[in-house]
């Protein structure tokens, strides 16, 4: 069993318990009653206009590093990210390996005026409705965890709800599957899901397979501004950063530095909206 398999097994168990407590019909009603979602594609457009967009993550721990930070007030951290110029706030809601929760998502949503990503392992449409009910504007779809039919169905649902999805890839085959599904936002995660090791060169090998007009996100492996500059040179419009921010005493300043480090020439002919 891979690390991803193990995580998803726990996600399904926790999901079953939440479904028992709150039926899908109730979650759908709450989602449809929630304020309209914010446009993450537009927010990430800064990366296509010449400077790097930063998706700043509220992240307490990870399977690879264990405990990262004691985040007593996720809302305050998210507010500092917003002051620093983050384009999107990512909130981990997986509990067993990442120490997150839907309560964190609620707190962050109430504190910031930016699009918010519910960062979790989406395996069922319930989680997408649930994300919208809690105010999320974006969800994560991991290609390695889903069939082509599920990717298409989940993308259609997010768009029907006015949301977006970051479709995460790790290999050439997964990039091709994401492109075939018509994903407007594709992430390339340079962390190997089987070994949890980082290989930053993976981004350069995969990013060129993603068509113009797609928002391209570099995920994992950002230690400093040099890494951001390297990802920008390889075609990234945005970086998703967690550890480098939650462990820094001044995350707002760090976000500004990352944005400047990723400044590039605007990509020609890219539409401003998908």
Q: Cα torsion for 208, 114, 60, 124, to the nearest 10°?
A: -70
Residues annotated as catalytic (active site), given as ranges = 57, 59, 119, 168, 189, 219-220
Neighbours of 29 (CB within 10 A): 13
Per-residue pLDDT tens digits for 246-268: 887 799 999 999 988 887 544 43
Predicted confidence at residue 269, as pLDDT, reads: 35
Predicted confidence at residue 270, as pLDDT, reads: 38
Asked if residue 255 lies in contact with residue 56, where contact means CB atoms within 8 angstroms, the answer is yes
Per-residue pLDDT tens digits for 221-239: 999 999 999 999 999 999 9
Predicted confidence at residue 274, as pLDDT, reads: 34
C-alpha distances (whole Å) from 112 to each of 73, 85, 136, 262 are: 13, 12, 12, 24
Gap between the Cα atoms of 220 and 113, Å rounded: 25
Q: What is the reported pTM? A: 0.93
Predicted confidence at residue 49, as pLDDT, reads: 64
Count the helix, strand and coil residues of the chain and give each as a percent rounded to the nearest 5: 45, 15, 40
Predicted confidence at residue 127, as pLDDT, reads: 98
Predicted confidence at residue 164, as pLDDT, reads: 98
Asked if residue 57 lies in contact with residue 88, where contact means CB atoms within 8 angstroms, the answer is no
Asked if residue 250 lies in contact with residue 77, where contact means CB atoms within 8 angstroms, the answer is no
- Per-residue confidence in pLDDT tens, the chain, 274 aa: 788 999 999 999 999 999 999 999 999 999 999 999 999 999 997 555 677 999 999 988 888 778 888 888 999 999 999 999 999 999 999 999 999 999 999 999 999 999 999 999 999 999 999 999 999 999 999 999 999 999 999 999 999 999 999 999 999 999 999 999 999 999 999 998 878 899 999 999 999 999 999 999 999 999 999 999 999 999 999 999 988 898 877 999 999 999 888 875 444 333 333 3
């Amino acid at each position: 069993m891979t690390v991803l398999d193990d995580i998803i097994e726990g996600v399904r168990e926790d999901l079953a318990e939440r479904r028992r407590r709150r039926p899908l019909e109730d979650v759908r009603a709450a989602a449809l009653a929630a304020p309209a979602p914010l446009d993450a594609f537009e927010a990430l457009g800064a990366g296509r206009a010449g400077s790097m967009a930063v998706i700043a993550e509220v992240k307490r721990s990870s399977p690879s590093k264990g405990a990262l930070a004691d985040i007593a007030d996720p809302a305050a951290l998210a507010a500092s990210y917003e002051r620093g110029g983050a384009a999107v706030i990512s909130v981990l809601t997986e509990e067993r390996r990442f120490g997150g929760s839907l309560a964190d998502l609620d707190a962050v949503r109430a504190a910031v005026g930016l699009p918010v990503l519910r960062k979790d392992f989406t395996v069922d449409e319930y989680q997408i409705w649930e994300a919208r009910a809690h105010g999320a504007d974006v969800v994560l779809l991991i290609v390695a965890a889903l069939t082509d039919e599920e990717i298409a169905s989940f993308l259609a649902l997010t768009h029907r709800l006015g949301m977006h999805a970051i479709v995460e890839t790790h290999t050439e085959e997964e990039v091709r599957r994401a492109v075939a599904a018509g994903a407007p936002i594709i992430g390339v995660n340079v962390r190997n899901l089987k070994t949890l090791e980082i290989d930053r060169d993976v981004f350069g090998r995969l990013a060129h397979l993603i068509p113009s007009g797609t928002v391209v996100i570099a995920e994992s492996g950002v230690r400093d501004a040099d890494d951001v500059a390297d990802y920008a040179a390889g075609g990234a419009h945005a970086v998703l950063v967690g550890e480098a921010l939650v462990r820094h005493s001044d995350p707002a300043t760090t976000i500004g530095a990352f944005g400047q480090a990723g400044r590039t020439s605007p990509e020609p002919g890219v539409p401003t909206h998908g």
